[in-house]
């Protein structure tokens, strides 16, 4: 049995999704996997490598921000890196990396629904390779569409050394933007700052300003005010790709260095970009109620009751805003949740129906097949093979 260590940092919120993908391959290959948070190490990475003598390691790029955690630490072990800063590693390497083009394209498509004249990009608090890539692509694509672009780079000012000063300068930037304006933040963490300063300034989101994040950290996105729309990189699939690349290295130690890119999952559209007129606030709240409760078994009647309207009025107003019925909205949320479960090969297909709001497996299978053209099992098989083909 081979031993594989996954080195991560807990500040990277999506590490559990990546690990789920690694486990999927590990189960098939019968590996023993140890997950190690470098932030909790007292004796450094060398002591972990000495203790476990692993056959291979999978390393998050963020690990290198910790003292004593450089690429040289892994020089004598077969390693695959995830979303690593190329300049920091220095030279060719084996790894998986987000496809920034796909991430930005999806964000732009969502933001352009409102077709405003002005858009802005808010960088991460420190200069990083990935945040520069995202700004460059976002700026280029938006300008090619004739849009006005505004950029906030906090690291260009020495006065952003503390959180309070950072938010103060961000608040000035957000207030100065023409309205309406669409903002793409470098990640969900930065989007939260944008929503907070907008709320404090009395800027209505999404009426006067739409806000998008990247990463789709549900703990963050579901608990902002309003809830945050976000692009979801396919982190679980990237874990499978990283483990698959490590598997190939075990079989062919002389293979050439390679970097495999991975794309995104469907955008999670929430209230920060979902425009409704001010007079249809009940529909806005209904959409949010469905998103939060669809998988708890609610019906269209429950939504109508929540709206405080007659069934006919509620359905008509809901359809005017969304283009479809309340029931169709509930089904859409449930199908999206089912796909999230199906993307995890460790979860049995016949066990997810209750977590998607259905009373039995047959009901979920019928609805899923009608919506996607294939059964849940067939959908998993197709997408699983895509993830491990490379």
In the structure, what pLDDT confidence band is assigned to residue 158 with cuts at 50, 70 and 90? low
Question: What is the pLDDT of the chain when averaged over all its residues?
Answer: 88
CATH 1.10.10.60 in the chain is located at 276-388
Tokens read off for 56: 């291979």
Q: What is the pLDDT of residue 185?
A: 97
Please state the rounded mean pLDDT for residues 120-134: 91
Is pTM beyond 0.85 here?
A: no
Residue corresponding to tokens 């449930």: 334
Please state the rounded mean pLDDT for residues 35-54: 88
171-191 pLDDT, tens digit each: 999 999 999 999 999 999 999
**What contacts 373, CB < 8 A, 6 or more positions away?**
none
Q: Report angle CA 247, 250, 253 to the nearest 5 degrees.
A: 130
Q: What is the pLDDT of residue 218?
A: 85
Count the neighbouring beta carbons within 10 Å of the beta carbon of residue 384.
16
In the structure, what pLDDT confidence band is assigned to residue 157 with cuts at 50, 70 and 90? low
CATH code, residues 100-233: 3.40.50.2300
Please state the rounded mean pLDDT for residues 212-232: 90
**Full 3-state SS string of the chain:** CCEEEEEECCCCCCHHHHHHHHHHHHHHHCCEEEEEEHHHCCCCHHHHHHHHCCCEEEEEHHHHHCCCCCHHHHCCCEEEEECCCHHHHCCCCCEEEECHHHHHHHHHHHHCCCCCCEEEEECCCCCCHHHHHHHHHHHHHHHHCCCEEEEECHHHCHHHCCHHHHHHHHHHHHHHCCCCEEEEECCHHHHHHHHHHHHHCCCCCCCCEEEEEECCCHHHHCCCCCCCEEEEECHHHHHHHHHHHHHHHHHCCCCCCCEEEECEEEEECCCCCCCCCHHHHHHHHHHHHHHHHHHHCCCHHHHHHHHCCCHHHHHHHHHHHHCCCHHHHHHHHHHHHHHHHHCCCCCCHHHCCHHHCCCCHHHHHHHHHHHHCCCHHHHHHHHHHHHHCC
CATH code, residues 3-98+235-267: 3.40.50.2300
Q: What is the pLDDT of residue 160?
A: 56
> What proportion of the chain, given as a percentage, has pLDDT over 90?
58
Please state the rounded mean pLDDT for residues 352-372: 91
**Of the candidate ranges 267-276, 280-289, 297-306, 316-325, the one whose mean pLDDT is the lowest:** 267-276
* Greater model confidence, 357 or 11: 357
Distances (CA, A) of 146 to 109, 123, 383: 15, 22, 37
Residue 121: strand pairing partners: 151, 184
**Full 3-state SS string of 107-147:** HHHHHCCCCCCEEEEECCCCCCHHHHHHHHHHHHHHHHCCC
CATH 3.40.50.2300 in the chain is located at 3-98+235-267, 100-233
In the structure, what pLDDT confidence band is assigned to residue 387 with cuts at 50, 70 and 90? very low
Comparing CA positions, the residue from 18, 63, 61 lying closest to residue 45 is 63
Q: Is the pLDDT of residue 293 over 60?
A: yes
Q: Is the distance from CB of 68 to CB of 44 less than 8 angstroms?
A: yes
Please state the rounded mean pLDDT for residues 338-347: 83
Q: Is the distance from CB of 185 to CB of 231 less than 8 angstroms?
A: no
Architecture category of domain 276-388 in CATH:
Orthogonal Bundle (1.10)
In the structure, what pLDDT confidence band is assigned to residue 146 with cuts at 50, 70 and 90? very high
Q: What is the pLDDT of residue 383?
A: 72
């Amino acid at each position: 049995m081979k031993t594989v260590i996954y080195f991560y940092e807990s500040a990277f919120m999506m590490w559990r999704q990546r690990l789920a993908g690694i486990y999927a391959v590990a189960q098939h290959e019968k590996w023993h996997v140890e997950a190690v948070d470098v932030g909790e190490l007292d004796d450094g990475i060398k002591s972990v490598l000495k203790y476990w003598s692993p056959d291979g390691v999978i390393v998050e790029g963020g690990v290198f921000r910790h003292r004593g955690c450089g690429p040289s630490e892994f020089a004598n072990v077969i390693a695959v890196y995830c979303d690593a800063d190329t300049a920091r590693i220095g030279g060719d390497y084996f790894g998986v990396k987000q496809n920034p083009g796909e991430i930005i394209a999806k964000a732009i498509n969502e933001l352009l629904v409102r077709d405003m004249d002005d858009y802005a990009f808010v960088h991460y608090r420190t200069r990083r390779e990935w945040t520069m890539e995202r700004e460059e692509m976002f700026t280029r694509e938006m300008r090619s569409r004739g849009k006005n672009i505004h950029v906030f780079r906090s690291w260009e000012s020495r006065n952003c050394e503390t959180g309070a000063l950072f938010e103060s300068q961000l608040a000035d930037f957000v207030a100065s933007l023409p309205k309406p304006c669409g903002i793409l933040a470098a990640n969900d963490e930065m989007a939260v700052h944008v929503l907070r300063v907008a709320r404090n300034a009395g800027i209505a989101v999404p009426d006067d300003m739409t806000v998008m994040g990247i990463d789709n950290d549900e703990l963050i996105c579901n608990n902002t005010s309003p809830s945050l729309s976000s692009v979801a990189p396919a982190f679980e699939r990237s874990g499978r790709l990283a483990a698959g690349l490590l598997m190939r290295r075990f079989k062919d130690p002389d293979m050439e260095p390679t970097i495999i890119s991975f794309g995104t999952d469907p955008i999670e559209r929430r209230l920060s970009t979902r425009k409704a007129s001010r007079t249809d606030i009940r529909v806005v709240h209904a959409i949010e109620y469905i998103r939060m409760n669809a998988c708890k078994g609610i019906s269209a009647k429950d939504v109508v009751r929540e709206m405080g309207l007659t069934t006919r009025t509620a359905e008509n107003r809901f359809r005017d805003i969304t283009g479809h019925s309340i029931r169709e909205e509930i089904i859409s949320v449930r199908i999206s949740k089912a796909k999230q479960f199906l993307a995890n090969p460790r979860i049995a297909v016949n066990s997810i129906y209750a977590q998607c709001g259905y009373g039995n497996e047959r009901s979920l299978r019928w609805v899923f097949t009608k919506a996607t053209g294939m059964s849940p099992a067939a959908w998993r098989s197709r997408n699983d093979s895509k993830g491990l083909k490379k």
